[in-house]
Amino acid sequence: MKIAIISDSHDNIPNIEKFLAWAKINQIEMLIHCGDIAAPAMVSKLLAPNFSGPIHLVHGNVSDRAALAEVCRSLTQVKLHGDQGELMIDSERSGKIKIAFCHFPETARALAASGQYALVFYGHSHKPWLETLANHCQLINPGTLGGLFQKPTFAVYDSTDDNLVLKILEDL
């Protein structure tokens, strides 16, 4: 399964559209958004209509929580997990693995240090980052899809070979 991980999209419609087109061509099957969508309408008007697989979201620090929850309730393919989420996915190499995702780096580091997860994704800093902790958990920030203060980036995890890559949007 190919999973795309994005964060800090901040309503940058051209970047989101370019990412969604790439995701479709590259057969991305699941989307995880690590917060800072900003306008909840981005979910109902842009993400959900243009991505056919499940979409998992967490709150960031710039969105209206109540409005985002209301929008997500009406979309069957979208699940809003609150401040942090976790999923169990099948990995062909490792069997079932548990992943977590949140917005803030401090929360992500605590989740990764807990030893409960193989992968922990987070956002907020807008800086792409990949780190493997002593407990073998990978801590990953996909960067900012919105392109604020950094080039627009995202991550892709392929569970068939446990491969994780960071992508620069302008290079696609």
pLDDT recorded at residue 95: 87
pLDDT recorded at residue 10: 96
Q: How many domains does the chain have?
A: 1
Note if the pTM is more than 0.85: yes
pLDDT in tens, 37-85: 999 999 999 999 999 999 999 999 988 999 999 999 999 999 999 999 9
Q: What is the domain-level CATH number for residue 108?
A: 3.60.21.10
Name the residue range of residue 156's domain. 2-171
Instruction: Extract long-range pairs of 93-101: CB within 8 Å, 24+ residues apart.
Output: 93/161, 93/162, 94/118, 94/162, 97/159, 101/5, 101/32, 101/34, 101/56, 101/58
pLDDT recorded at residue 92: 81
pLDDT in tens, 21-36: 999 999 999 999 999 9
pLDDT in tens, 88-136: 999 888 789 999 999 999 999 999 999 999 999 999 999 999 999 999 9
